[in-house]
Structure 1
């Protein structure tokens, strides 16, 4: 067997690489928007292959983000669970108000039938694994609470699953069709066992995840309120500010930075939405909790690499998204 598709920007003129990459990501992953943090220099490579019904893709690229909107999720023809397992770099998975930060040696999982966002804030080398969702739903596993979770990879069954996914990708070229199909079935079973273990695990780590979820849910409900502060969150959740910081320490993040990032993401979504074309940038920013236009412009540029007006104009000039979505 050989990889079913190989894509590289090495053969593309530098000025065309960003547009070509976005088109590849859209086509290969079935309706997935992407942006490059406003960077003008980019290179990326994807090599995909299949083990039975399981699709495995090795992705190497400069920093970038991908986004699946609720509309695109609803338009999908096939449902997948998707795993990101970094060989190099890191990724942040956000879905259903939860967030998982994953580095080499770990993996995180999410559901393509719902909206999500993946941030790759540095150059990455990832293994992306797509498993048909129905193969896990049929086993009676309650999936929703397990999405956007850091499943593991350091020890136990999650490590066996990670090593199997990696070795399967590497050895597929020398496998027969029958062996490849069996390897895909094994991956599905190991992922199921990993999720089953995660669902039943009662530990300080999972309690901390639950508390982090409560914090994020509170932030989501009050994101538009400019008075949303750590003091207000601590009072609402009946905890100390130190406890709030401890909840985010495992992800090298802070509650304040999380609030800022979510507000910026919300503004980005509105700025690229044609239905908000008549609204001013200031109106959008203030609607999402910012109360100083100069501060908003500065942090927006730090986050995206572009000014808000340049970002809006770039999104306006981009070709309209395809209406037909083929898979995940």
Structure 2
């Protein structure tokens, strides 16, 4: 376990106190290198560990936010009652004061930029602090951030530069992160809920549509999504079902105007149900009658 000992020494000295659990039946791989860009520290990480743990007892060294760019492979994160998966090319912001687990999916590579916590906390509201979140990829600022991080990964740290360069990089990375977090900080819950509803309406025909699917599309946790609907009459799952049934009703009601009316099975497939039986059970639960009875009642 010499390699594991060397890895843990590197992790502790570069990133702080983490506990590593290697796979029992696989040779352990773990490499870490620290680049220092005039005060801005960047760790380059590769490992196939089963789990890497940052527990409450090891969160004493909480002076950083970690900005993680997932370069190769996928990394699972779990904290409190939430979990997420960081895919290649995605970026996450992690408050080092929080306990969490990381679950590499095979051999992964990532880079971790260490931003001073005191500096980052001055940029964000208290609501944005003490968090683990993926940076939204659909913002131009986050795309520029990803390009900048990749460029930093290939920058020669031995190149002659000034301390001001490190400070400028720190300011630039922080500034690029901020816009991608703003919707979660400043948008009202109702407007974010409307965004969720629009996602649902757009994806009604997708058989994979679920609360978990919507949460991933919006880059928020399932718990946050459920909270958005907590003041609604319907839960997320109930809203999805209600909207699907309404679309089925529209198709069933249009039968008389169609030369070849859709069958119950065709309507079911069209709106994300696995078969006519699943649609019939759901339809009767919502409307009180079967789809065929509902169609007859409309004629």
TM-score (normalizing by structure 2):
0.60
Task: Give the Cα separation in 2 of the matches to 1:142 and 1:192.
Answer: 13
Deviation at 1:150, TM superposition (A): 1.9
Higher relative contact order (CA 8 A, sep 6+): 1
Residues 1:25 and 1:152: Cα distance change in structure 2 (over 3 Å): same
Deviation at 1:144, TM superposition (A): 4.4
Residue number in structure 2 paired with 1:68: 54
Task: Give the Cα separation in 1 of the matches to 2:39 and 2:171.
Answer: 8
Deviation at 1:211, TM superposition (A): 6.9
Residues 1:51 and 1:199: Cα distance change in structure 2 (over 3 Å): farther
Q: Tell me, yes or no, if the aligned pair for 1:100 and 1:148 is still in contact at 8 Å.
A: no
Residues 1:140 and 1:124: Cα distance change in structure 2 (over 3 Å): closer
Alignment of 1:1-328 (within 5 A): 15-73=1-59, 75-76=60-61, 78-144=62-128, 147-153=131-137, 155-173=139-157, 174=159, 176-177=161-162, 178-200=164-186, 202=192, 203-204=195-196, 208=215, 212-213=222-223, 240=237
Q: Tell me, yes or no, if the aligned pair for 2:83 and 2:221 is still in contact at 8 Å.
A: no
Q: Tell me, yes or no, if the aligned pair for 2:34 and 2:41 is still in contact at 8 Å.
A: yes
SS at match of 1:123: strand
TM-score (normalizing by structure 1):
0.55
Runs of 5+ in structure 2 lacking a partner?
200-210, 228-233, 242-299
SS at match of 1:46: strand
Which of structure 1's runs of 4+ aligned residues deviate more than 6 A?
A: 241-244
Residues 1:211 and 1:123: Cα distance change in structure 2 (over 3 Å): closer
Task: Give the Cα separation in 2 of the matches to 1:17 and 1:64.
Answer: 15
Q: Tell me, yes or no, if the aligned pair for 1:105 and 1:153 is still in contact at 8 Å.
A: no
Residues 1:154 and 1:144: Cα distance change in structure 2 (over 3 Å): closer
Question: What's the Cα RMSD here?
Answer: 3.2
Q: Tell me, yes or no, if the aligned pair for 1:152 and 1:159 is still in contact at 8 Å.
A: no
Residues 1:242 and 1:48: Cα distance change in structure 2 (over 3 Å): farther
Deviation at 1:197, TM superposition (A): 4.5
Deviation at 1:84, TM superposition (A): 2.1
Task: Give the Cα separation in 2 of the matches to 1:210 and 1:187.
Answer: 21
Residues 1:102 and 1:120: Cα distance change in structure 2 (over 3 Å): same
Task: Give the Cα separation in 2 of the matches to 1:170 and 1:124.
Answer: 18
SS at match of 1:89: strand
Residues 1:153 and 1:50: Cα distance change in structure 2 (over 3 Å): farther
Residues 1:198 and 1:161: Cα distance change in structure 2 (over 3 Å): farther
SS at match of 2:154: helix
How many residues matched? 209
Task: Give the Cα separation in 2 of the matches to 1:215 and 1:191.
Answer: 22
